[in-house]
Chain A
Amino acid sequence: MQTYECDIVIVGAGPAGSVAAKYAAEGGLDVVLLEKRAEIGAPLRCAEGISKKWLSEIGMEPDPKWISAEMDGAIIVSPSGHTFKLDESQAGNEVGYVLERHLFDKALAEQASKAGAKIWLRTAATGVIKEDGLVTGVYANRMGEKIAIRADCVVGADGFESQVGRWAGIDTTLDLTDMCSCLQYRMVNIDVEPNYCEFVLGSAAPGGGYVWIFPKGKGIANVGIGVQGSKCKSGADAKYYLDKFINEDPRLNKGAVLEIVGGAVSTCPGLEETVTDNVVLVGDAARLIDPITGGGICHAARSGMYAGKVLTECAKKGDFSKEALSTYEKMWRDKMEDKLWRNWMAKEKFAALSDEVLDDLVLAIKESDISEVNVYNLLKVIKEKYPDLVAEFEDMI
């Protein structure tokens, strides 16, 4: 078996893997980034909505090449059809761009390459190399050839599948209540607002999920759904609910579908453990996704950056032990954990609400005078109307 050597091997060239590769390579490390697919960023598994403000944090300038549409705001729709429109000044952090995700992911990979990382496409990690109980690299299948890649540290950036962590002994499994089964259509010839992201709440998407309509120009949008795992009964539930929604919506039901996208998101507050000796998990693999919105691109990119920086420091000392790598775990927890927990608790509550209560809440929010709408401020309004709902995590608001 052909064996390769490098400092860091990163499994998965999504945002988490590419950004980790960039920062580790900039730190002078010899980095190999593996991607099992034949094209970075494709096929799409995403609704492509991001907020704007974190891009500068990871050193990305907005580029029209990978921005499909700029949003003016968001529309929240209650189960019986009350709408609440927020413009950009109010929508604050939660809306921004709808991406061309396949080009965005390529732009991140390009930056990793510029920094010196090697990128191997069509190279699927198949397991970890273990010596004396320690992970010392990965086995992979590179264009049909079985190879071994030995490295000081392995980064699991393999997305929702999150198998690298499991091979290395980290429990990345999820409860069914902490994941959503998703299906999305790229639709054309539909009649939706071109510059507003729409979120439809309630039993249209059982279990605290929602239907999203993220426009990508006039008459074009990503129309998708997330159904909570425990509400999925027999298979194809996501398809059933999405088709039902589209059939019943006169704006959509004459449109055509040009692309079908499947996928899943985790809705937990992040793994209990994201590092072990010689192994780091980033992005979706570490289950770093906002449990309310399902947004994970910014968590993936930021956690990738933290990992890349910490790996650079670890290399200086030649120490990739769990203890040394825990600096990474501390970094993402400091920046993200409070919000992940708060939104996870909120999600647990919302998942149980009836359509009537959701209608009430959307009306209450509509009538309130929130200046900036984000999960935090929404919870404050909800607290006034339904104190019981937020009682258990009040101190986090």
Chain B
Amino acid sequence: MKVVYEKCLHCGCCVGSCKQNAIYLNDYILEFNDACNRCRRCIKICPVGALSLEE
């Protein structure tokens, strides 16, 4: 996952949306674990478009 921290509001929207529990909001940093199945839910739900999949 790629996070554009210049946009991110640390709102946790993506964390709660992830069915795999693959995201953790550590202070102001998002940590992603291996459970991610690239479903893109977090990307869609982010209110400011701070997330994208790494190629």
Interface residues of A (CB under 8 A from B): 36, 43, 45, 124, 126, 141, 159-163, 166-167, 173-174, 176, 179, 181-183, 229, 232-239, 260-264, 266
CA distance A163 to B21 in the complex (A): 7
Given contacts A163-B21, A173-B19, A174-B17, contact A236 B49 (CB under 8 A): yes
Inter-chain contact B16/A264, CB cutoff 8 Å: yes
Residues of B within 8 A of A182 (CB): 13, 47
Q: How far is the CB of B51 from chain A (nearest CB, A)?
A: 6
Inter-chain contact A183/B47, CB cutoff 8 Å: yes
Residues of A within 8 A of B24 (CB): 126, 163
Residues of A within 8 A of B21 (CB): 163, 166-167
Inter-chain contact A229/B49, CB cutoff 8 Å: no
Q: How far is the CB of B45 from chain A (nearest CB, A)?
A: 5
Inter-chain contact A181/B45, CB cutoff 8 Å: yes
Q: Which 8 A-B pairs have the closest CB atoms?
A: A236-B49, A262-B11, A235-B49, A262-B9, A238-B47, A160-B16, A264-B13, A183-B47
Residues of B within 8 A of A161 (CB): 12, 15-16, 25
CA distance A357 to B34 in the complex (A): 46
Inter-chain contact B17/A179, CB cutoff 8 Å: yes
Residues of B within 8 A of A263 (CB): 11-13, 47
Residues of B within 8 A of A261 (CB): 9, 11
**Count of chain A to chain B residue pairs whose CB atoms are closer than 8 Å in the complex:** 94
Interchain Cβ contacts under 8 Å between A and B, 29 examples: A36-B27, A43-B10, A45-B11, A45-B12, A124-B26, A124-B27, A159-B12, A161-B12, A161-B25, A163-B15, A163-B21, A163-B24, A166-B21, A174-B17, A179-B45, A181-B45, A181-B46, A229-B41, A229-B44, A234-B44, A236-B48, A236-B49, A237-B44, A237-B47, A260-B9, A261-B9, A262-B11, A264-B12, A266-B16
Q: How far is the CB of B23 from chain A (nearest CB, A)?
A: 9
Contact with A along B6-43 (1 / 0, CB 8 A): 00011111011111010011110000000000000101
Inter-chain contact B48/A262, CB cutoff 8 Å: yes
Interface of A is mostly: mixed
Minimum CB distance partner of B44 in chain A? A232
Inter-chain contact A235/B44, CB cutoff 8 Å: yes
Interface residues of B (CB under 8 A from A): 9-13, 15-19, 21, 24-27, 41, 43-52
Inter-chain contact A239/B12, CB cutoff 8 Å: no
Which has the most chain A C-beta neighbours within 10 Å: B16, B17, B18? B16
Given contacts A166-B21, A232-B44, A235-B44, contact A181 B13 (CB under 8 A): yes
Inter-chain contact A229/B45, CB cutoff 8 Å: yes
Residues of A within 8 A of B19 (CB): 173
Minimum CB distance partner of B45 in chain A? A181
Q: How far is the CB of A105 from chain B (nearest CB, A)?
A: 16
Inter-chain contact B15/A236, CB cutoff 8 Å: no
CA distance A36 to B31 in the complex (A): 15
Besides A163-B24, A234-B44, A235-B43, 10 other A-B contacts (C-beta < 8 A): A173-B19, A182-B47, A229-B17, A236-B46, A261-B9, A263-B12, A263-B47, A264-B17, A264-B45, A266-B16
